Amino acid sequence: MTITNSIYNVLFRRNYVFVGAVFASAFAFEMGFDTISDKVWDNLNKGRQWKDIRHRYVEEE
Amino acid sequence: MAATTLRNTIPRALRSASAPLHHPSVTAAATQVRYNTQSATDARSPFAQAGSHRTTKIPDFSKYRGGSTSGNKVFQYFMVGTMGALTAAGSKALVQDFLVNMSASADVLAMAKIEVDLSAIPEGKNIILKWRGKPVFIRHRTAAEIEEANAVKIESLRDPQTDADRVKKPEWLVMLGICTHLGCVPIGEAGDFGGWFCPCHGSHYDISGRIRRGPAPLNLEIPEYEFPEEGRLVIG
């Protein structure tokens, strides 16, 4: 009750705060989504990408 | 006096004459009498009484409602905001992907720059490199050649350019090896001016790559290049 009220008062009452929170959460969501989907992709293609086989062909200087 | 009696008698006569017209039901049934007396004393519609009743009474739903609506409100705004955030992220990714799609790919970018080791080029020699599918001339000029390039009167040239405008270091002349006439590749150390000569239509370029004679309209083009360190040249 008080928690929902305070959330409403802090976040939703003023539109600019609401829109700002929406964009900030979009940014955070995008970062998290990209990281997770990249990890899933790398996991599915383990051993087939250049970064996995680079050490066989390129000698570090 | 006669006028006043006339004035008094006329309304009376009218009243007596009109009484049976306006009140025909005085002698009628009791309900009708009551109805008529009411309309006589009150000018309002007989349905006004009925209209004053609240016919659009909204039932009380408070029994079915939860106690507070703030939780619902927060939930609704949360869902709206989440929808907006997902839409913003998705549309940003869409726009970004289209823009990235238009930019140069990695293999094109890898070919966009070449690096040259200048210590391999002795003084007074040309080399020709391929850069972005075009030949690039690099000449290590001697001091005499630099002097010769600077001695030319700019006003007499077809495409007036000083030698300093065309080189970053006077001993290194870097330019695109494409004749500005029709795109042949000129021959080095040839022509009447000690520079380049285009065999296709006979354009003569001097030691700074400027057009001196023949059909070509412009000097040989200078690509973007820089010297990141001594003895190294990066073109592109």
> Which chain A residues are within 8 Å of B82, Cβ to Cβ?
25
A interface mutation test: which of B70, B76, B77 has the most A CBs within 10 A? B70
- Cβ-based contacts under 8 A for chains A and B: 45
C-alpha distance from B58 to closest chain A C-alpha (Å): 28
Cα–Cα–Cα angle for A10, A15, A18, nearest 5°?
55
Q: What is the CATH number of domain B114-235?
A: 2.102.10.10
Q: Which residues of chain B have pLDDT under 70?
A: 1-42, 44-55
Query: What three-state secondary structure class fits B225?
Result: strand
ipTM of this complex prediction, to 2 decimal places: 0.84
**Pick from B177, B222, B223: nearest CA to B200:** B177
Per-residue model confidence (pLDDT) at position B61: 85
pTM: 0.49
Per-residue model confidence (pLDDT) at position A28: 96
Q: Say yes or no: B113 contacts chain A, CB-CB below 8 A.
A: no
The active-site residue, picked from B22, B140, B201, B204, is B201
Task: Please say if B204 is a catalytic residue.
Answer: no
List the alpha helices (DSSP H) in chain B. Answer: 2-22, 30-41, 48-51, 70-102, 106-111, 143-151, 163-166
- Average pLDDT score over residue span A45-53: 91
Per-residue model confidence (pLDDT) at position A40: 97
What residue spans define the domains of chain A? Answer: 23-61
